[in-house]
Structures are given as structure tokens and as C-alpha cells.
Structure 1
Amino acid sequence: MIKHILCATAMFAAATTAHAGDPFTAPVTAELLSGWQQADGTKVSAIRLTLEKGWKTYWRVPGDAGIPPQFDWSGSRNLQDVSIRWPAPKVFVQSGMRSVGYANEVTLPLMIDAKRPNRPVKINLQMDIGVCKDICVPQRLTLKGTVDPQSTTPTPAIAAALAERPYTAGEAGAATTTCALTPTTDGLSITATLTLPSTGASEHVVIEAGRSDVWMSEASSRRSGNTLTAQAEMVPTTPGALALNRSEMRFTVVGSNHTVDLRGCTPG
């Protein structure tokens, strides 16, 4: 069963729209955008979220003030795998708390692999997301569509969203990423040292442990020249010792000029 997967590409025969079924007028609508099939057989599509003025929704790691998005693809047919190519997010500060996400509108490109590549893929997606203005409210959206494996022409709106991805380490001129782990009463403390040029006057570092059963605190950071140091706490949400694979850790630096996605770290 494919459930709560965060990464992808897909292609739908026609765009469909779904509105959240809440007691008040939903501040967000979701739409499946038609896409194309790549030469390797991967199908490309997207989810477009359109929010009412002043509302925002969240990135895959929303911050302490946000609601993490969840995606349930289990009702789909002939779907082998799907991932979301998240565009670079923004950092919002409200009442002294930071959150990470998108305002007004965001297009989330999808990558879909079919169990039987030459057969249609029937998509039945249930999305649970948070949307915020003066208050934060959960929204449940259901989207359905059929993947069409015929078209090979890229869709401009999806191609534009793919181009909005964060910079890679090489593109940003990043060098080494090291991380020191120190045991604490509840889990581990991590100090990450990122060697990369400034991403702008304001920088927010998001650290992901590479495990879904680990809670990660918001990171504090400081910069000295081309060295950015970030510190955070991680606590396991399930019983047992906390063992981490450094190669699966992820560090996203959201700056006022651009965003950088760094994968893995070495002991430091």
C-alpha cells in the first residue's frame, strides 16, 4: 500500500477540481493538472493548490507552528510509486513563531511509476493539509484522475514548478556538511556545520532525520563567513534506541535570495 509518500511525477488525462468539505467555505481548492510521459516511462503531473487571499499552506516540514501534509494514495489502481518534487518554500513569522510553506498558490509536480507501464493509472488521492490565516484549520481534499500514457509534450505550468526547486549543493557552491550527534535525556542533539555561501540576509535551516519516527525541533542557526552552523534536538516517537543513518539526513537552507537542498552529512 502506498501511503503518506512525499516525492513524485504523474500525468492525468484531464484536470479535475476538488473542494474541501468543511462547514464553512473552504479557503483552498485542489486541482490535478494534466502532464506528460517522459522517455524513461515516468509520468509527470501535478497538484495545484489555490488559496484564498491571505491564506497559506505548508511544506513537507511545516515548522513548529504548522500542520504537516499527508498524502494517501492507497485508493489508486496500477500505481507503483509516486513522489512530490517540492518547490522552494517560504518562511512565515507570525506571533513570534515560524512556519514553512506557500501562500496564494503552489503547484506540486508529481512523478508516478505504474505497476504495469502500458496501462492507465487510476488516481484516488486523499490529502490532509493545514491552511492558515489568523487561525489554522485542517482540510481534507479528495482528487481523482486517470493517467494518460500518450502525451509526451511538457505542460508549461508543471515545467515552471519543476524549475522552482531548491538549488543542489553543486549549484549553490556548497562544500562539506558535517554533523555532530550528542546523546540527551530524550534523544540526540545535533550540531550541523554547513559550508556554503550565504543564501540571503535571512536564513532558516530545516533538518530532517531521514526517519518518520523522529521528532525534530526547529533549528537555531548562526553564520560566520561561508560557514553556517545549525543546532536542533531530535526525539524518537517510538520506543527503543535512536540510530541514525547520516547519509539519509537532509538539510534545507531557506534564504531570502534562494533555497539550497543538502543531502547527507559526515561525522563532525
Structure 2
Amino acid sequence: MHATFAPPKAHDRSAAPLEDLLNPRQCAFFFDVDGTLIDIAIHPDAVSVPKSLLDTLDILDRETGGALALVSGRPVAGLDALFSPLRLAASGVHGAEVRLSPDAETARQSPALAEGLRGAVAALARDLEGVLVEDKGSSIALHYRLNPEIGPRLRETLAGFVAADAGLALLPGRLVFELKHAGHDKGSAVRQFMQTPAFAGRTPVFMGDDVTDEAAFAVIKDMGGIVISVGRDFPDADVVLPEAQDVRALLDTIAANSRRA
């Protein structure tokens, strides 16, 4: 990659305006969704995507020549439904699904979890107050936002499934634990995108808010790109934005500046 700079953290007021660093004609953009582009809700089905965000992403996708991708824990089909009618390059289920361009087919990087395992995890959740199950096929997530105190017990129980199967991994997130196949993550998805013509040769930029994004953060740093964290300061973060609405405001500014240019 041609860029090796590390922009200062957002709280350093001597820094150049962030929007000047994120030129759509030079950058490739990767966005986590929940907590980054959109506000987190109690349940994944309760979120909403502002119309203004759809318009901004559409502009940036065109201004970058297609070098823009959603990189989420949600399945790609769920991303399409959430961002409809916009269809973007996307990776879902933490790298288990990858669609390298809007018109491409979604490639599965790992098979569905065994039906017996998914049933056992769902049964576990039914016995725990305030735990919500999200079965994505190739992974299964247990959200405990309604009962945060149960987190340590839930982690210990799920760790037992991983101990019994070396092919599994336990991915912690913001008040969620997710059982998935080992060997793929958001970082591996970013590497695939950066090898395609639309993304290659650009400065990669990743925006994310959770520990589930750290694998992508590490890959972006290896490539000399820019890591923007949301809500907290991760070790690899070059810039920290307070919350999702600040991400949306930044993207609005970048899109407007690009169109004027």
C-alpha cells in the first residue's frame, strides 16, 4: 500500500481535518454496521437505517468506484434487507460470508454449524433469563443486553462448547457472545476485498466499535491504512469518534466535499 501515515487521535485539535484524510478517490472504506453506522438497539431486529445514511453510502460507493464494503456480524442477506434498496459489497457473519462486489454471489467461507450444536445453544439460552438467540447458520449469537450480569456465567458455559470442539471459536462482543467456526474473521474478509480491482492500491479505512472488529483493525494497520474506532479507544485506533451519529456526520461531510470537488 502507498500510505503509511498514522493520523493523530481525534482529540488532538492540531490534526488536519479528518475528512481531508479520507478522500474517496484514494481510500477504500470498510464499515462495521451496528454501533458504527447505525445505533445499537436492544434486539438486532429493532435497528433502523436513516434514509440520509443510505443516500450518503450510495454517493460514497460511486465516488470510490465501488471500493466500499459493509463488514458485519450480520449475514449478508440481512445486510441487504437492512440497507435496501442499496446493495453493496459486503462480508457477513464475521468473515464467514463474503460478497466481493454488489453484483457478485455471496461466497461461504465456512459451513453451517452442526444442527445439534445450534439446538443445544438455543436450549441453553431458553433457560437463561434475558438472553436472546440469533442463529445465523454458520454461527450462533447470544445477546445478553437485557441481563448484563449473566455475562460471566454465559461465557463460562459457552467456553465448554469450544473446549469440546477445537474447530470452534468463541467471539465476545458488546453484550453478546458468538459461537463460530475458527479460521475466519473480519480481517480475513478485508484481505480478500483488498485483492480485488476496485479496492487494490487504495488506502484502506476501517470504522468499527467492538472487539469483534479488532482482527480487521490489525489487518488495516499491516496495510498502512487508517483505523477509526467508535465509542472507545482501541490500541490500533488512529482516530476515535464518540458514537454512530458522529460517523454518519463525518460521512455526510466526506460525500458532500467529494461531490463539490
Q: Which has the larger radius of gyration?
A: 1
Decide: shared fold, TM above 0.5. no
TM-score (norm 2): 0.26
Structure holding more helix per residue: 2
TM-score (norm 1): 0.26
Structure holding more strand per residue: 1
